[in-house]
């Protein structure tokens, strides 16, 4: 894992975070051929800047956090494309979420995952990762559950190597993912991370339309190096 920056700071927005992360990844020089995969929705604006700097293709690897009932922001697991399911070991012990309840939550999130897969990928064939370096990008890693699901999904799809990247991550997430990713690029690992949003000045919601717009621009290769994509699309979410 590449060492985090010594000075902790807030990112202006996801685009700024993506540009900073991109500079770090350019120095790393991931092995070719590579494919940058944004984790929807918030990871896609970050991944867009990474893909542009690396001059690499971009796609999405659809993941869904499984949230605690009544406290949806607290991840107790995650699912990803390829029938990948990750369950926090403490879900039942600490939160009282038994296997049956977890299965119900998983089924509910799978419906949303499939909807997003259809929406973002427009009927494209499954991701072709065989022999490639998968650069997985999110806007931040709190528990690490969604990135863990993404790593396992990329491996199942045949990725030769998996690099996990994010502007900010908790110590717990960094430790968890270091056991599964081939390499990680995390710009900041603060001593205490309460929420990802606290590390952004603008952490506005990213909508489905924003994800679709960014992917369309990248897939049609009509984004020159210095072109400014609309602020509404790149500002956050």
Q: What is the DSSP string of 44-63?
A: HHHHHHHHHHHT--EEE--E
pLDDT score at 182: 98
Whether pLDDT at 229 is above 60: no
Residue range 118-166, pLDDT digits in tens: 999 887 888 899 999 999 999 999 999 999 999 999 999 999 999 999 9
H/E element holding 102? helix 99-121
Q: Is residue 193 assigned to a domain?
A: yes
Percent of the chain whose predicted confidence (pLDDT) is above 70: 87
pLDDT score at 95: 61
pLDDT score at 7: 73
Identify the burial level of 224 via C-beta atoms within 10 angstroms of its C-beta, where 0-12 means exposed, 13-18 middle and 19 or more buried: exposed
pLDDT score at 234: 42
pLDDT score at 19: 98
In this prediction, residues 198-206 reach a mean pLDDT of 97
Categorise residue 85: left if φ over 0, alpha if ψ from -120 to 50, beta otherwise.
Answer: beta
Mean pLDDT, the chain, integer: 88
Q: Is residue 210 assigned to a domain?
A: yes
Whether pLDDT at 222 is above 50: no
Q: What is the DSSP letter of 198?
A: G
Whether pLDDT at 202 is above 80: yes
Residue listed under structure tokens 């029938």: 83
**Inter-CA distances, 118 with 73, 105, 229, Å:** 24, 20, 24
Whether pLDDT at 213 is above 50: yes
Q: Is residue 195 assigned to a domain?
A: yes
Whether pLDDT at 227 is above 70: no
> Mean pLDDT: which of 121-135, 169-183, 211-225 is highest?
169-183
Token readout for 98 is 């038994």
Q: Buried (b) or exposed (e) across 33-69, using 16+ Cβ within 10 A?
A: ebbbbbbbbbbbbbbbbbbbbbebebbbbbbbbbbbe
Q: Is residue 94 assigned to a domain?
A: no
Whether pLDDT at 98 is above 90: no
pLDDT score at 91: 64
CA gyration radius for the chain?
17
Residue range 11-68, pLDDT digits in tens: 999 999 999 999 999 999 999 999 999 999 999 999 999 999 999 999 999 999 998 8
Q: Is residue 157 assigned to a domain?
A: yes
Q: Is residue 87 assigned to a domain?
A: no
- Confidence tier at 94 by pLDDT (50, 70, 90): low
Q: Is residue 183 assigned to a domain?
A: yes
Regarding predicted confidence, which is higher, 191 or 6?
191
Kindly give, in sequence order, each residue whose CB lies less than 8 Å from that of residue 170, ignoring residues fewer than 6 positions away.
Answer: 141, 142, 143, 144, 189, 190, 193
Q: Is residue 139 assigned to a domain?
A: yes
**Inter-CA distances, 234 with 16, 80, 127, 230, Å:** 9, 24, 24, 7
Token readout for 204 is 């506005």
Strands 63-68 and 71-80: antiparallel
CATH of the domain at 149: 3.40.50.2020
Contact call for residues 60 and 33 (beta carbons, < 8 A) = no
The model carries a pTM of 0.87
Structural domain total, the chain:
1
Owning domain of residue 140:
14-62+129-234
């Amino acid at each position: 894992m590449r060492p985090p920056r010594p000075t902790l700071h807030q990112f202006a927005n996801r685009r700024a975070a993506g540009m900073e992360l991109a500079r770090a990844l350019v120095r790393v020089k991931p092995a070719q051929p590579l494919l940058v995969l944004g984790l929807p929705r918030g990871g896609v604006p970050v991944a867009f800047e990474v893909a542009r700097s690396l001059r690499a293709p971009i796609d999405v690897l659809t993941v869904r956090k499984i949230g605690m009932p009544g406290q949806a922001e607290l991840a107790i697991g995650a699912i990803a494309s390829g029938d990948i399911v990750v369950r926090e070991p403490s879900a039942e012990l600490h939160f009282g979420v038994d296997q049956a309840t977890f299965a119900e939550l998983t089924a509910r999130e799978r419906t949303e995952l499939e909807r997003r897969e259809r929406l973002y990928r427009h009927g494209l064939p499954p991701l072709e990762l065989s022999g490639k370096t998968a650069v997985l990008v999110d806007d931040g890693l709190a528990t690490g559950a969604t990135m863990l699901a993404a790593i396992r999904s990329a491996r199942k799809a045949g990725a030769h190597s998996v690099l996990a990247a994010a502007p900010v991550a908790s110590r717990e997430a960094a430790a968890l993912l270091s056991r599964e990713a081939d390499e990680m690029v995390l710009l900041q690992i603060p001593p205490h991370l309460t929420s990802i949003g606290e590390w952004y000045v603008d952490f506005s919601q990213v909508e489905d339309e924003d994800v679709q717009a960014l992917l369309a621009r990248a897939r049609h290769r009509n984004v020159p190096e210095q072109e400014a994509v609309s602020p509404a699309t790149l500002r956050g979410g």
